[in-house]
Amino acid sequence: MAFQCEYSSMKQTTSSEHWSDRMPQGMDLEITNHPLTMKQVVNLVIAIDRLKGSQSEKVQSSEFRDEDLLNLLLENALDEQLVLELTEAAPPRGFTAIEPSQQCMLRDHQKRSMVLMKEAMELHAIRLQGGTTDHEVSLNMSTYLDPRPSASAQPVALGIRGTKLYLSCTQKADRPTLNLEEVENTDDLKSISKDSDMVRFLFYRTDIGVSASSLVSALYSGWYISTATEDNLPVEVCLQSESRYRSFTILQG
């Protein structure tokens, strides 16, 4: 019987003689100059290791047959397939925050700033004049690894810098609403199960063109963070069919 080890860096003339002396009686090693993949090398090593183990006790010298080698290779292939299937079937754990968070400010399509109304616990879209920009809210935007990754959308959480207030989307009456919620332990936002109600703090950021982005609720698909056409009104969530501004410029700051 002959083994083929296709490894290009071995020199056939010297290596063949060296390894042939070490092979069990009745077996030969043939080396060719065709490159192997790492997967093929691993399979070959496992097969040889098994030959040296249980099979070597059962089969002596020239009694080793082609069927014996075939059984070994098939057994290894089945083991590998089982491992791959178990790995692919493993359920995703959830959303995991990527450190550090990004400091930013949001401006809507009309270049209006986000301002915190503390008494109402709302964000309003206001066109600020020179000298009043210190009222503009600065946000901490945390990005997350998605258990269902998308090439076009990135999960994020939005917290007001210097506070424990975070934007969230919850159901009230007959429609989802945008809220400001205080999170006592911000470590709870570092890892969020995909089935947890903490998903209400997550929004999918999708970049539109060069400088604009949309923010849609991760819990209520199709509901976008938006601003009204008039000034000094609350920031809310809306459907795409509603007459509101749904795109924002995200400024580093």
Percent of the chain with pLDDT over 90: 55
Which residues lie below 8 Å from residue 18, measured CB to CB, with a gap of 6+?
none
- pLDDT score of 132: 72
pLDDT band at 63 (very low <50, low <70, confident <90, very high): low
Contact at 8 Å (CB) between 121 and 72?
no
| Continuous H helices in 8-155 | 12-20, 38-50, 56-58, 66-89
pLDDT band at 218 (very low <50, low <70, confident <90, very high): very high
- pLDDT score of 3: 45
pTM across the whole model? 0.65
Domain residue extents for the chain = 94-252
- pLDDT score of 129: 84
**Cα(214)–Cα(205) distance, integer angstroms:** 6
- pLDDT score of 148: 81
Q: What is the mean pLDDT of residues 174-196?
A: 95
- pLDDT score of 32: 59
Q: What is the mean pLDDT of residues 196-225?
A: 95
Percent of the chain with pLDDT over 70: 63
Beta bridge partners of 252: 104
pLDDT band at 50 (very low <50, low <70, confident <90, very high): low
Contact at 8 Å (CB) between 169 and 176?
yes
Which residues lie below 8 Å from residue 59, measured CB to CB, with a gap of 6+?
65, 68
The CATH number assigned to the domain with range 94-252 reads 2.80.10.50
pLDDT band at 100 (very low <50, low <70, confident <90, very high): very high
pLDDT at 189 over 60: yes
pLDDT tens profile 103-119: 999 999 999 999 999 99
pLDDT tens profile 127-163: 998 767 778 999 999 999 998 877 689 999 999 999 9
**Residue 72: both structure tokens together:** 């070994």
